[in-house]
Structure 1
């Protein structure tokens, strides 16, 4: 069994107090649940245990050429200049910075497997088990759980390390996630990997 930690969409625009998207509840919920702080711990533990940390960020190029007006979720992104690649908005949160040798995958949709090299990277590294951290529960986390499940990965979302824009959306998504994956706590991760809290 070879594992990796996926850090999903934990970028400034979503989880920083000055983030544009974060103002829709994502920052507040991340603060309330301790998503960023717990993810920082998970990253530290995985690095100590030799588990690869892979970052996935959502973003669009200048001019938003990848954007679709038919996407309800991303409908107002260009007019608000949100999640623009190459800017502060799509940088990984300061507390979760990747190391120079860690992989960063960029996506333009909810699903991190869609039209990206994520699966190629995972297969090349012979990864079969995925720990998940990220925002938001009902979008990128659920999508990764479903995509990972259907591609034959063992998927383990870390309950302490995921959040949404509101508790209702989080709880609804978790009812589905729990049917498709083994939800872990941060403590379970550290116990399984033999890393001390």
Structure 2
């Protein structure tokens, strides 16, 4: 029998700080915390996905436009403050933390192995940014035949219009898209 898991993706100190001035970020962390707490109370596994690299970023090619700028700054080196999950939604005992090396939660991580070992067949996606980790993970998870739910208000993007188009037009082709409250009521 398969079950669902809640994925909390890229809600790390350095990423949350970059979204501090975004209007849609108001209330995001408290809403996400409530969703996480409800999942735990319903025995839905909570899996955190974070981006992290070894010191010196040997995993990053200079050809990778997205990540190559991180090499110079040293950003997201494992163990640095910016890579930690934001304390307002920090993992608790029993939660799982998976480290990825690219945009998708599956790329360069053992997420697929963790999900299959825990008999997870459905994913409930949250994270920052809607146009980054959420989009990439929806696409890859759909190709891997997972049942998908995207919590529209559990995702955050710097561009409100991009977020709207993704949750209203793109994601519904591969996932159920609902609000956090609606999902929590169904637990």
Q: TM-score, normalised by structure 1?
A: 0.88
Q: TM-score, normalised by structure 2?
A: 0.92
Looking at structure 2, the residues matched to 187 and 91 of structure 1 have their Cα atoms a distance apart, in angstroms, of 26
Match of 1:19 in 2: none
User: Which of residues 44, 67, 73 is equivalent to 2:66?
Assistant: 73
Looking at structure 1, the residues matched to 115 and 26 of structure 2 have their Cα atoms a distance apart, in angstroms, of 29
Partner SS, residue 131 of structure 1: strand
Q: Please list the CA deviations of residues 164-195 of structure 1 after superposition, one character each: whole Å capped at 9, or x if unmatched.
A: 122133234333212211011111111110xx
Match of 1:188 in 2: 182
Checking the alignment, whether the CA contact within 8 Å between 2:13 and 2:81 is kept in structure 1 is: yes
Checking the alignment, whether the CA contact within 8 Å between 2:24 and 2:156 is kept in structure 1 is: no
Query: What are the ranges of 5 or more consecutive residues in structure 2 without an aligned counterpart?
Result: none
Q: Which moved more, 1:37-46 or 1:173-182?
A: 173-182
Looking at structure 2, the residues matched to 12 and 30 of structure 1 have their Cα atoms a distance apart, in angstroms, of 18
Looking at structure 1, the residues matched to 72 and 146 of structure 2 have their Cα atoms a distance apart, in angstroms, of 37
The offset of 1:154, in angstroms, is 0.8
Looking at structure 2, the residues matched to 178 and 75 of structure 1 have their Cα atoms a distance apart, in angstroms, of 32
The offset of 1:116, in angstroms, is 1.4
Looking at structure 1, the residues matched to 186 and 94 of structure 2 have their Cα atoms a distance apart, in angstroms, of 25
Checking the alignment, whether the CA contact within 8 Å between 2:25 and 2:156 is kept in structure 1 is: no
Q: Which moved more, 1:131-140 or 1:28-37?
A: 28-37
The offset of 1:30, in angstroms, is 7.2
Checking the alignment, whether the CA contact within 8 Å between 2:105 and 2:137 is kept in structure 1 is: yes
Looking at structure 1, the residues matched to 129 and 182 of structure 2 have their Cα atoms a distance apart, in angstroms, of 21
Match of 1:116 in 2: 109
Query: What are the ranges of 5 or more consecutive residues in structure 1 without an aligned counterpart?
Result: 17-21
Bigger strand fraction: 2
